[in-house]
Amino acid sequence: MIAPDQPLTFYGTPFASRMLIGTALYASPEILSQSVKASGAGIVTVSLRREAARAKTGQRFWELIRALGVTVLPNTAGCRTAREAITTAEMAREVFGTDWIKLEVIGNDDTLQPDLFGLVEAATVLAKDGFKVFPYTTEDLGAADKLLAAGCDVLMPWGAPIGSGRGLNNPYGLKTMRNYFPGIPLVVDAGIGAPSHAAAAMELGYDAVLLNTAIAKAGDPPRMAAAFAEAIRAGRSAYEAGLMEMRDMAAPSTPVAGTPFFDLGASS
């Protein structure tokens, strides 16, 4: 059993919600705002993209996000080398006014899985430069050790490829990672498609879940955001309460003693 209501803490900052959500792919800014509010998430992810002259697109989006009153976690999505990710992180720090960075160095176009070599390289440089790095990684324990040695205080392994909605592809690997790093905040990031996937991650003892597409592409995004919030709370409570051990064989739950006709056996 785990003591209940221990707040989730990233780099010394506590958060009441164990949900982080992305801000992309929503049908409109209004639906995005409603969904963030319905989720109760305390952290939202954002990005940087090329700005056209006189467009002020970024300014409008930034004002929308600021009005939500949540903590902003910029990402380096789309970066394919450590150098691109480092420069993007530096630009994000200036524009968003935060040293938090969700570090993504993409290694493969089909799976969007992280390039762990570039990730460790970029994390090392950024952490030395004062960034609070949230690395998008896999369940690879060797890479995780190197990321922690580089100065990361949190790890964000994938559940499944970004945007795939396939849930937890490797529950064994994720469970192993949880057991190997009992004191490190771990967040399942990417691949979550349904509230049940998020609940499963929380039942494994993960500290939080980061998702985007599953809410943004739902038929009713604010309602789905609320559904995820309930699932994440339920999964966390289940983890704290202590799940039963799985068994191979059936075990009757109703008492056997006093069963009527017990002595008649199956002779009739």
Partner 1 sequence: MDSLTKHTAAAPASARTIVVNGAARLSTAVTLAALLTEAGYGDAKVATARNGDFVPERLRATTLLTDGDQIEIVSPRQGG
Binding positions for partner 1, rule: CB under 8 A: 22-26, 32, 45-59, 61-62, 65, 74-75, 77, 83-84, 87, 90-92, 94-96, 162-163, 212-213
Min dist CB 130 to partner 1, Å, is 14
Closest CA to 140 of 122, 121, 115: 115
CB under 8 Å to 183, separation ≥6 — which residues? Answer: none
**Coil, strand or helix at 106:** strand
**Coil, strand or helix at 211:** strand
Identity of the residue, 3 or 67, whose beta carbon is nearer to partner 1 in the bound complex: 67
* Number of CB atoms found within 10 A of residue 1's CB: 7
Identity of the residue, 144 or 214, whose beta carbon is nearer to partner 1 in the bound complex: 214
Min dist CB 242 to partner 1, Å, is 33
Give the separation between CA 86 and CA 91, rounded to whole angstroms: 9
DSSP state for residue 248 in the 8-state scheme: S
Identity of the residue, 47 or 169, whose beta carbon is nearer to partner 1 in the bound complex: 47
Identity of the residue, 201 or 205, whose beta carbon is nearer to partner 1 in the bound complex: 201
How far is Cα of residue 97 from the mean position of the Cα atoms in its chain?
Answer: 22
Would you name the residues annotated as active-site residues? Answer: 102
Identity of the residue, 26 or 206, whose beta carbon is nearer to partner 1 in the bound complex: 26
Whole-angstrom CA distances from 146 to 124, 152, 173 are 9, 9, 17
Q: Cβ distance 208 to 18 under 8 Å? A: yes
DSSP state for residue 264 in the 8-state scheme: G
Min dist CB 174 to partner 1, Å, is 20
